[in-house]
DNA sequence: TTTAAGCGATGATTTATATCATCGATTTTA
DNA sequence: TAAAATCGATGATATAAATCATCGCTTAAA
């Protein structure tokens, strides 16, 4: 439980007694857009993709959720209808917390409540920035953003395996599979990255950052 | 004060004693991106535009704030640095509430706290949707969205005056001034709207909605 | 009050990126 | 295990929308 230090023993106990852990395999859906929210969900382990499904199969990948992060919180606190979908990208465990128990704790614990507000706000601001970048950067900048996203936010290192297919990566970058592949291949030819299947190594972090900044 | 019924007399009094109203003229800046947040801001009257300034003069207009709405809340609750700027579009009055007084009320009033979380969440979801539409709809759909935004969300009627210049409207639609003007002119020629300077009347709400939905 | 800047509008041109097509390899499903 | 779907990859083509240019008109600044 994150920020457990803000909770009293009784509150922690209450939440524990009203939680249960559910396991998901790769590609399992966790919840679908437009369904009613039922629980607070906390990713305990694994990796989950959060995405919006539009008409004509358009998908916008909003973010990846890592362990310790709440998922679907904006929808739960907002209008109680999931505004996006979530699917496990790796074997994952999610802690489902009864919403009433959670609300009761929020009601009586101002500090925790404020902390959660801060999390919700930062969550919102983070996705704003991603979407604004998508709208106003052109391809190389957006692909650089995806590389930095995994390197900095998800894995914390410049060498990693993409946990997503090219199509999904394109959805994260706000482009098409073909354009994503092309641009990534250019990066490889320009020796900005090493690329072998899903394995990537950022050779020149400086160039990637510059590409991201220039847009 | 919105949701005053959730506050006790003392809490209301505390907030009143720690608030002051500031007036703004058209085009006056309320706060600038990257500055520290200092107060909770509540729009009492007028109209304010909330926007993100990027490098090379790129501006993304996120939303318009109407009376009764908090402005800058995500930044205040998030990382205490304004993530976007706000400028009065009409003569406006803004109630500045001391952040500590406000937090104290939040700390001791769970219901108000939950309500605010809900507001913050919906605020975030609303802007998400706008930005996602911008990324994935093409021009006519985006222009239709702008028309619907003013007709439904801001003015609540199908006839109104644009409170913004064409350039600003374009920033709201995620396009350029020229493209915005062109598309709006097409709408006029196609008799979907009546247009005279900044005065608009949506002739066929159905078509506008269809354009918005088809993207 | 003259100058300068920004406005709405429209035409011509360029360009970034989507779309379409294909293909062998891999994965999923029937 | 056979058939079908999806994957990564690359080339050719189409197109939506940005950019550039110009032009009166209004608004703001010197």
The pair of structure tokens assigned to A87 is: 């699917």
Count of Cβ atoms closer than 10 Å to residue A189 Cβ? 10
DSSP A71-97: ESHHHHHTTSB-SSEEEESSSEEEEEE
Residues A25, A90: contact at Cβ < 8 Å? no
pLDDT tens sequence across A122-136: 999 999 999 999 988
* Fold of domain B4-126: Jelly Rolls (2.60.120)
Distance CA A202, CA A155 (A): 13
On chain B, the residues whose CB falls within 8 A of the CB of A106 are 110, 113-114, 117
pLDDT tens sequence across B131-145: 999 988 999 999 999
pTM: 0.93
A70 burial level (CB within 10 Å; 0-12, 13-18, 19+) = buried
Distance CA A87, CA A25 (A): 9
pLDDT grade for B215, boundaries at 50, 70 and 90: confident
B56 burial level (CB within 10 Å; 0-12, 13-18, 19+) = exposed
pLDDT tens sequence across A24-37: 999 999 999 999 99
Q: Do B107 and A110 touch (CB under 8 A)?
A: yes
The pair of structure tokens assigned to A43 is: 């990713």
CATH number of A137-214: 1.10.10.10
pLDDT tens sequence across A141-187: 999 999 999 999 999 999 999 999 999 999 999 999 999 999 999 99
pLDDT, position B1: 79
Count of Cβ atoms closer than 10 Å to residue A23 Cβ? 13
Distance CA B155, CA A105 (A): 39
DSSP B110-176: HHHHHHHHHHHHHHHHHHHHHHHHHHHS-HHHHHHHHHHIIIIIIISSSEEE-SS-HHHHHHHHTS-
Q: What is the layout of strands, in order, in the sheet containing A193-196?
A: A159-161, A199-202, A193-196
Interface test with B, best of A125, A212, A214 (most B CBs within 10 A): A125
Distance CA B204, CA B181 (A): 19
Residues B161, B199: contact at Cβ < 8 Å? yes
pLDDT tens sequence across B99-117: 999 999 999 999 999 999 9
Is residue B63 classed as helix, strand or coil in its secondary structure?
A: strand
Q: In 3D, which of A32, A83, A181, A172 has the Cα closest to residue B135? A: A172
Q: Which of residues 125-154 of B touch strand D (CB under 7 A)?
A: 138-140
> How distant is the Cα of B33 from the closest Cα of chain A, in angstroms?
13
Residue-range domain boundaries for chain B = 4-126, 137-214
């Amino acid at each position: 439980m994150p920020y457990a230090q803000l909770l009293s023993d009784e509150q922690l106990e209450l939440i524990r007694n009203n939680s249960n852990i559910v396991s998901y395999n790769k590609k399992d859906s966790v919840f679908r857009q437009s369904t009613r929210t039922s629980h607070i969900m906390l990713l305990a382990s694994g990796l989950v993709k959060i995405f919006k499904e539009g008409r004509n199969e358009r998908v916008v990948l909003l973010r990846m959720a890592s362990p310790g992060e709440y998922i679907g919180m904006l929808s739960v606190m907002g209008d109680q209808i999931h505004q996006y979908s979530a699917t496990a990208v790796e074997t994952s465990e999610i802690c489902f917390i009864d919403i009433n128990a959670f609300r009761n704790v929020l009601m009586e614990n101002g500090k925790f409540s404020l902390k959660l507000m801060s999390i919700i706000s930062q969550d919102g601001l983070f996705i704003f920035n991603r979407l604004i970048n998508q709208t106003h950067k052109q391809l190389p900048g957006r692909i650089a953003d995806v590389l930095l996203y995994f390197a900095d936010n998800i894995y914390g290192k410049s060498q990693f395996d993409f946990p997503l297919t090219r199509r999904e990566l394109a959805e994260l970058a706000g482009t098409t599979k073909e354009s994503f592949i092309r641009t990534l291949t250019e990066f490889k030819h320009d020796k900005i990255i090493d690329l072998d299947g899903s394995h990537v190594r950022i050779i020149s972090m400086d160039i990637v950052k510059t590409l991201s900044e220039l847009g």
